[in-house]
Amino acid sequence: MFLLLGLCRPLFGREPAQIVISNSAYAYNGENGAWEQTRGTLTYFEDLLQPYLFVALNETLHFKAGAGLLLPFNQEQKIVEAYPYVQTKINFEHSSFEIGSLEGRHNFPPPILDPLVNLTPRIRVNNTTQVPINYETFPKGIFSHGLYEYGISYRWFEEVVEGEIYINWQLPDTTNHRERFDAGLINTYTWAGLPLYVGIHYWHNGGHENPHPIEVTENYTAAAGLRNKTFSVLYLASYYLPNRSGGAPNTFGQAVYGEYNLELGRQWVLTPSLFVSDELITKSHNYFSVEGDPFFRVPFYLGMNVHKTWPIFKGTDIKVGLVNGLFLPMATSPFSSLNVRYDQMIKVDFKYAFDV
């Protein structure tokens, strides 16, 4: 392969290809006394090695091919898994198009898309309150999609507007593989210095490839308001259909969400956040995002996250984080010392590229 790339060098330019090796080692631990209302207790000790070939045919057309190798150091799963990574990307002046493996980084707030998705290749699911599909049979445990996404994405980025529309075809770990996908539309428009934001997310599980008692499960979520890298002030709405054909009640919910990233210098960041659902007023309502952080399925959440990043040298960072919160699991619940979230995270990222 290297000989072939060398022979093709005049066709591509001075630097036609690179071998890129990225490695992410991380530990994420969650402790809580009321996880049944949110997640099952989870602890990740994993190492993700992702070597791939990057070829820039020209400024417009880029190609990547490789694999992600996951080494999980836990008690549930001791098998190394490989995730294919193949992407064709077309770059335009103010937009780009990806097909194959997606780059992720969808600009959704945590109540719509769990931040752990950007950390782990698979988000572990222990009970039906996380992804409520108890009619499926899972040979190796219950999982939703994580870091690796496969589909189509179109992004635009101009001076005052940026956004994305995408569809991610998920790979569920089920005995009877049924179609599962999610799609998103995100757009931010800066007007008079205000970052006007809208985000819409759709999640689907079902289809007719294999017969099931429940044909289709759907989840719609949306956010509108102000959002940039520093702060978010958003109105949220969700609509969850456990069974689109009927037989189970659909659930509607609304909420308001705010966060602020306060940079203190020396790579310290404090992030206070507040989430309030209308479940406090209307008991039949429940804001619910299948792929969101499950702590934002509760009526009330008040958080204060702390992160610190140490750049070791070019391409290598160490990040330590504390994800803290106080929440009500149900609208009628009194505050309790059990309703405190305290997650810990340490993550080391390494990336190195060399020409071939």
Residue 101: Cβ within 10 Å count: 23
> What number does CATH give the domain 52-308+326-337?
2.40.160
Distance in angstroms (rounded) separating the CA atoms of residues 89 and 85: 13
10 by DSSP, 3-state: which? Answer: helix
| 19-28, 56-65, 164-173, 182-191, range with the lowest pLDDT | 164-173
**Cβ–Cβ under 8 Å, residues 303 and 328:** no
Q: DSSP secondary-structure letter at 283? A: T
Which pLDDT score, from 0 to 100, does residue 161 have?
97
Distance in angstroms (rounded) separating the CA atoms of residues 148 and 223: 24
* Residue 121 reports pLDDT greater than 70: yes
Comparing 197 with 115, the larger pLDDT belongs to: 197
Tell me how far CA of residue 115 lies from CA of 4, 106, 120, in angstroms: 40, 10, 9
Percent of the chain having pLDDT more than 70? 81
What's the whole-number mean pLDDT along residues 251-278? Answer: 95
Which pLDDT score, from 0 to 100, does residue 7 have?
37
**Cβ–Cβ under 8 Å, residues 326 and 33:** no
pTM over 0.85: yes
User: What rounded mean pLDDT belongs to the chain?
Assistant: 84
Using 50, 70 and 90 to split pLDDT, how confident is the model at 12? very low
Domain residue ranges of the chain, discontinuous segments joined by +: 52-308+326-337
* Residue 31 reports pLDDT greater than 80: no
Helices within 221-279 (DSSP H only): none
Which pLDDT score, from 0 to 100, does residue 72 have?
84
Tell me the per-residue pLDDT of 271-326, one tens digit each, with 9 for 90 and over. 999 999 999 999 999 999 988 988 898 899 999 999 999 999 888 999 999 999 99
- Residue 306 burial (C-beta neighbours within 10 Å; 0-12, 13-18, 19+): middle
Report the DSSP beta bridge partners of residue 39: none
Tokens at residue 10, please?
């005049």
Tell me how far CA of residue 163 lies from CA of 56, 61, 296, in angstroms: 24, 21, 24
Comparing 197 with 179, the larger pLDDT belongs to: 197
Which pLDDT score, from 0 to 100, does residue 329 have?
81
Give the distance, in angstroms, between the CA of residue 181 and the centroid of all CA atoms in the same chain: 13
Q: DSSP secondary-structure letter at 334? A: P
